[in-house]
Chains A and B, each alone.
Chain A
Amino acid sequence: MLKKAIIAAVGLLGLAAPASAHHSGAMFDRSKTVVLKGVIKEYQFTNPHSWIEVMVTDKGKTTQWGIEGESPRPMRRLGLVPSVLKPGDKVTVRAHPLRDGRPGGSFIDIVLADGRTISAQHMFKPPAKPTGT
């Protein structure tokens, strides 16, 4: 049984190299990471890629950040479905920021209001209990 489980795990890793985005990441600075604590304005679960709009207040000033995710299929596989990310939710999102300094970035992971973390790394290493599939 254990052997079977190990084989299954290896099988999953065999699919690694989770290249999936339909466009280049040239506009994002992948050498930088921003950590955004804020409140969800809207989760746009849409084609071709989803966007998480989050309001971040820093030193009395509120900025709307747009974080680009993947298409609905992989977002659903991660469990990041619309029912778990509602306007008003307090979250922490990590992202690679746009090179040009505007408040946008590319999704790395998110800590949801209920404390769960959902990471793009789960793409081919799904959490123990996949949701939304």
Chain B
Amino acid sequence: MNRIQLCAALLAATALVQAGCDKKPVGSAPAAAGKASMKIGAAYGEQLANLPNFNGEWQFTKGLMFDPDHVVNPPDPAGEDGGFSYGPQGGAHLTGIPYNAKYQKIYDDTVAKAAKGIITDPVGDCMAPHGMPREMGGAPGPIEITMAPGQMWMIWDWFNATRRIYFDGRPHPGGDDLWPTPMAHSIAKWEGDTLLIDTIGFMPGIFDRTGAPHSDKLHMSERMRLVDPDTIEVQMTFEDPEAFTAPWKVTRTLKRRPKDLLALMGSYCEGGNRNGIVNGSQSAVLETDTVPGVK
């Protein structure tokens, strides 16, 4: 049990807010039931005034591979004339993940298939959202961050995926009350201007399009801070007792997007009328096909 979990457990068990766990949680005193105001009021802003300004539209640097500094990525044959990029090439893979033998074999098999053009990414066929932890560097598109009293929302353009990070002192759901969800469950606290985030409740999944797997036992710890007004650094540590033999650390950078490119509108699989991608991204449906996806 790490410190955040310990504190969360203490809070849940005894409401010992002064047990050295945290300073006064921000925004932890909601109005009594039935006393909701018709106006937001000045207190809302006051609770946010001294928080780091994560507000805005952001994009991960260095592309779609989860740990871009430790990769093997064959060159794109299209070179500079690439058109839209499709992320890592077939056979691309992350290096340095402390997998145990079982999960290393799963990953090796996936990479070997991808090198032959056999892709098993469920997102490509619109079978699933990217989900956590893949959203934190293995998913495309911009991210909007909004600070609120006691919590922060990260909203991805793709699927409008929303990650809620609570820093109001609440614990994770305990025991049988925690069940896996695509965006998992994140609680946090402040260490100065660094947000320490603790996330559990994952579904089994992959870190990025190369197919690097993790189990539902994954535990993610993050240190998120502004390096300068336009740069967020996220230091991530992953523990996975089912898949890893040691903790895995990845640091990613979010850059604030230039204002003239502000154009978030939501990219979905739902609500469209043409996915066109079938068979694990190995084929596409054309209007002119008599049998979809078959030449």
Contact = CB atoms under 8 A, between A and B. Distances in A.
Interface of A: 8, 11-12, 14-15, 17-28, 30-31, 33, 44, 46-49, 51, 53, 64, 66, 68-74, 76-77, 94-96, 98-104, 106-109, 120-121, 123, 126, 130, 133
29 contacts: A11-B258, A14-B61, A15-B255, A17-B85, A18-B85, A21-B84, A22-B269, A23-B119, A23-B121, A24-B121, A24-B281, A47-B269, A48-B267, A48-B275, A48-B277, A49-B276, A51-B274, A53-B287, A64-B288, A73-B263, A73-B266, A74-B84, A98-B284, A100-B295, A101-B295, A102-B286, A109-B83, A121-B83, A133-B260
The 10 closest A-B pairs by CB, nearest first: A25-B86, A23-B124, A47-B272, A108-B83, A71-B267, A31-B77, A30-B78, A17-B63, A24-B281, A19-B64
Contacts of A33: 81
Nearest to B277: A23
Contact of B157 (A8, A73, A101, A133): A73
Given A24-B119, A48-B126, A133 B263 contact: yes
B83 A107 contact: yes
B273 interface: yes
A91 to B, nearest CB: 15
B123 A21 contact: no
A49 B285 CA distance: 12
Contact of A66 (B262, B266, B277, B288): B288
A12 B267 CA distance: 22
A21 B87 contact: yes
Given A53-B287, A70-B84, 4 more contacts: A14-B255, A21-B85, A66-B286, A73-B157
A95 B264 contact: no
B124 A103 contact: no
A69 B277 CA distance: 12
Contacts of B267: 22, 47-48, 71-73
Given A46-B273, A49-B276, A76-B263, A104 B84 contact: no
A46 B61 contact: no
B73 to A, nearest CB: 11
Nearest to A46: B272
Chain B interface mostly helix, strand, loop or mixed? loop
Given A47-B267, A95-B83, A22 B123 contact: yes
Contacts of B158: 22, 71
Interface range, B side: 35 or more
Given A47-B272, A102-B289, A17 B61 contact: yes
A98 B119 CA distance: 15
Contact of B288 (A49, A76, A103): A103
A23 to B, nearest CB: 3
B117 interface: yes
A69 to B, nearest CB: 7
A94 B268 CA distance: 26
A68 B257 contact: no
A126 B259 CA distance: 12
A30 B90 CA distance: 12
A103 B288 CA distance: 9
B43 interface: no
Given A48-B268, A76-B263, A126-B261, A21 B274 contact: no
A17 B269 CA distance: 23
B126 A21 contact: no
A123 B85 CA distance: 10
A55 to B, nearest CB: 11
Contacts of A31: 77-78
A18 B64 CA distance: 9
Interface string B278-295: 000111101111000001
A27 B282 contact: yes
B46 to A, nearest CB: 33
